[in-house]
Chains A and B, each alone.
Chain A
């Protein structure tokens, strides 16, 4: 890893734990600059934990998370917030807040007690709302919006923070398929047109394969594979990471890898006696659990 050129954000042999429960040990990753990195893996594999660590929400018990070569926890909170943004999985919109006011809160790390609102803030909030398509909702109350619109508003807030790095924790959860694609298109657009480095945790492997420029596959707190989706997403790897037999074909729309799970009967026929079709995923999660509970 030392021969690689240092990227802006990375974790250096970190041990991640909630209280006594160790999720990952001696984990190292680097987020390539200007990439759209997607972290994938089965439930409870530690992918959200990794994202929390990268966003300094979780302090590693060992090792360090590095931002521009410095330990992220030693940097001033507001300074980090001007470099690295995060869209958390669950945020609470205060009662009776308008879209414009919520997006404006993204400017917080750039403001102070005596400099609360500059013309630049105004401009950036407007731009953030425009690039996420919520400008016409500016005066609406956030609690009146649909789930998809609300997610766009939260993304607008994160954009208003104007950070070169943006982390998104399962940005498509609770959205229907149309809004999922909508949010991912938006992310891809932000990545392409604004040159921001995006890191997202996604559940859907096909979404990840289609939108990511860099994929990190995690299982049991370890990075199993990383690289461009076309190299990473193979039938062999999907089985290794998710315990699912499948075919990987070319996405007819985009040419990216598309995971097609093997049919129920095909999986039953091809699987070993000890690894029945119903047991496959269950065993997998039990293993994941073991890795989690090692300590």
Chain B
């Protein structure tokens, strides 16, 4: 058997796949390592010891400012945005039974962007209003796509097709909004749209943390039911899963997670699409692999942020550009190596 069981007294038992557990642990270590590097490096380099001192309030004013105001919130935002995007992606890919059924393909990212751009262009709104606009846009898009795709339950292909249609329409709206904008707003809009972690601080972090604290446990708690759903609605029903309720709870949570992540960092592409796929191949376990996907998303986004800041000399790339390249290359490499091994 590929799974092992952890037992404690009192009849509590947790089932896990060792490979998945090690993958998750490895990814957490990677995230911590990259996070440490990111907090230590920059225009004002510090040692990990100095960072620790600063964290417990014994640093100099400059150190305090660099760590607490600039670098730590940025790293934390990256960790939570990555996890939220990946988790949202894992849920949708599992429900649609299709890797293409991920939120950045089926229009939720675009919906959030339209929301944010509408606030910027039509109302010249503040940063907070823009973020709120992104959440509203993402959630509305999610609701509309759900209603359009619903036909006695949501089915994979319908969801993907409706979603791709919606994404195309919303992209047109995005371009329309930009042409309507004056130069200042258009620049703001374009910067927002590239998806970046630059200048993220605690104002982005706290709402993100609050949403994740509620939704991540909720989604993970439904993970076993989601696994049963992968065998088809009938099989899941037969096993006592409340099919429609589970699906609605999970889809609503995933839409919210993606919308909030997008509102915090702009539309960062490819994390929701690639992280669950990478996680699945790394763990070699069937099923949605929710927890590993989430950690994979964090590791991916944080690594991408480090690469964006350091790999291209003085030129700093937006992180969204790097996630696309990094995730895409890794995924292609995995697909090719799996084909060689005869697993696909």
Give min CB distance, B78 to chain A, whole Å: 30
Cβ–Cβ < 8 Å partners of B224 in chain A: 108, 111, 113, 116
With an 8 A cutoff between CB atoms, is B97 at the interface?
yes
Which of A87-95, A198-206, A232-240, A287-295 participates in binding chain B?
Answer: A87-95
Q: When the two chains form their complex, are residues A88 and B232 in contact, meaning their CB atoms are under 8 A apart?
A: yes
Complex Cα spacing A138 to B3, Å: 12
Q: When the two chains form their complex, are residues A95 and B238 in contact, meaning their CB atoms are under 8 A apart?
A: no
With an 8 A cutoff between CB atoms, is B240 at the interface?
yes
Cβ–Cβ < 8 Å partners of B343 in chain A: 96
Q: Which residue on B lies nearest to A78, using beta carbons?
A: B240
Complex Cα spacing A44 to B295, Å: 50
Residue among A79, A93, A96 making CB contact with B231, cutoff 8 Å: A93
Which of A97-105, A186-194, A272-280 participates in binding chain B?
Answer: A97-105
Q: When the two chains form their complex, are residues A77 and B240 in contact, meaning their CB atoms are under 8 A apart?
A: yes
Given A96-B285, A96-B286, do A80 and B240 touch, yes or no (CB 8 Å)?
A: yes
Cβ–Cβ < 8 Å partners of B227 in chain A: 94, 105
With an 8 A cutoff between CB atoms, is A158 at the interface?
yes
With an 8 A cutoff between CB atoms, is A181 at the interface?
no
Give min CB distance, B2 to chain A, whole Å: 6
Query: Which chain B residues (234-271) contact chain A, with CB distance < 8 Å?
Result: 234-235, 237-242
Given A96-B284, A101-B286, A109-B239, do A115 and B12 touch, yes or no (CB 8 Å)?
A: yes
Cβ–Cβ < 8 Å partners of B3 in chain A: 101, 104, 117
With an 8 A cutoff between CB atoms, is A15 at the interface?
no
Give min CB distance, A197 to chain B, whole Å: 15
Q: Which residue on A lies nearest to B225, using beta carbons?
A: A108
Given A94-B230, A101-B2, do A115 and B240 touch, yes or no (CB 8 Å)?
A: no
Q: Which residue on B lies nearest to A83, using beta carbons?
A: B240
Interface of B is mostly: loop
Query: Which chain A residues (99-141) contact chain B, with CB distance < 8 Å?
Result: 100-101, 104-106, 108-109, 111, 113-118, 138-139
Q: When the two chains form their complex, are residues B228 and A105 in contact, meaning their CB atoms are under 8 A apart?
A: yes
Complex Cα spacing A23 to B13, Å: 45
Instruction: Give 1 or 0 for each of A18-61: 1 = CB within 8 Å of chain B CB.
Output: 00000000000000000000000000000000000001110000
Given A77-B240, A113-B221, do A94 and B1 touch, yes or no (CB 8 Å)?
A: no
With an 8 A cutoff between CB atoms, is B9 at the interface?
no
Q: Which residue on B lies nearest to A57, using beta carbons?
A: B237
Q: When the two chains form their complex, are residues A56 and B237 in contact, meaning their CB atoms are under 8 A apart?
A: yes
Instruction: Give 1 or 0 for each of A57-69: 1 = CB within 8 Å of chain B CB.
Output: 1000000000000
Cβ–Cβ < 8 Å partners of B237 in chain A: 55-57, 77, 86
Q: When the two chains form their complex, are residues B221 and A82 in contact, meaning their CB atoms are under 8 A apart?
A: no
Give the size of the chain B interface in residues (CB under 8 angstroms). 30
Cβ–Cβ < 8 Å partners of B13 in chain A: 114-118
Q: When the two chains form their complex, are residues A92 and B232 in contact, meaning their CB atoms are under 8 A apart?
A: yes
Complex Cα spacing A81 to B237, Å: 8
Instruction: Give 1 or 0 for each of A135-177: 1 = CB within 8 Å of chain B CB.
Output: 0001100000000000000000010010000000000000000
Q: When the two chains form their complex, are residues A138 and B234 in contact, meaning their CB atoms are under 8 A apart?
A: no
Residue among A82, A94, A114 making CB contact with B240, cutoff 8 Å: A82
With an 8 A cutoff between CB atoms, is B11 at the interface?
yes
Q: When the two chains form their complex, are residues B241 and A108 in contact, meaning their CB atoms are under 8 A apart?
A: yes
Residue among B2, B15, B241 making CB contact with A117, cutoff 8 Å: B15
Cβ–Cβ < 8 Å partners of B232 in chain A: 88, 90-92
Cβ–Cβ < 8 Å partners of A108 in chain B: 224, 228, 239-241
Complex Cα spacing A55 to B234, Å: 10
With an 8 A cutoff between CB atoms, is B182 at the interface?
no
Residue among B12, B221, B242, B286 making CB contact with A97, cutoff 8 Å: B286
Complex Cα spacing A89 to B14, Å: 31
Complex Cα spacing A138 to B235, Å: 20
Give min CB distance, B72 to chain A, whole Å: 33
Q: Which residue on B lies nearest to A107, using beta carbons?
A: B239
Query: Which chain B residues (19-43) contact chain A, with CB distance < 8 Å?
Result: none
Complex Cα spacing A79 to B241, Å: 11
Q: When the two chains form their complex, are residues B286 and A94 in contact, meaning their CB atoms are under 8 A apart?
A: yes
Given A92-B230, A113-B221, A117-B15, do A106 and B1 touch, yes or no (CB 8 Å)?
A: no
Query: Which chain B residues (200-239) contact chain A, with CB distance < 8 Å?
Result: 221, 224, 227-228, 230-232, 234-235, 237-239
Q: When the two chains form their complex, are residues B240 and A86 in contact, meaning their CB atoms are under 8 A apart?
A: no
Q: When the two chains form their complex, are residues B239 and A91 in contact, meaning their CB atoms are under 8 A apart?
A: no
With an 8 A cutoff between CB atoms, is A85 at the interface?
yes
Q: When the two chains form their complex, are residues A158 and B238 in contact, meaning their CB atoms are under 8 A apart?
A: yes
Q: When the two chains form their complex, are residues B240 and A88 in contact, meaning their CB atoms are under 8 A apart?
A: no
Cβ–Cβ < 8 Å partners of B15 in chain A: 116-117
Give min CB distance, A47 to chain B, whole Å: 16
Cβ–Cβ < 8 Å partners of A106 in chain B: 239
Complex Cα spacing A77 to B343, Å: 36
A sample of 13 cross-chain residue pairs with beta-carbon separation below 8 angstroms, ordered by A number, consists of A56-B237, A80-B240, A88-B232, A91-B232, A91-B235, A92-B230, A94-B227, A94-B287, A101-B2, A101-B286, A105-B239, A115-B13, A118-B13
User: Which 4 A-B pairs rank lowest in CB-CB distance, beginning with the nearest?
Assistant: A81-B240, A88-B234, A86-B238, A78-B240
Residues of chain A at the chain B interface (Cβ within 8 Å): 55-57, 77-82, 85-98, 100-101, 104-106, 108-109, 111, 113-118, 138-139, 158, 161
Apart from A101-B286, A105-B227, A108-B228, what 12 extra A-B contacts exist at CB < 8 Å? A56-B237, A81-B239, A91-B235, A92-B231, A98-B2, A100-B1, A105-B231, A106-B239, A113-B224, A116-B14, A117-B14, A139-B1
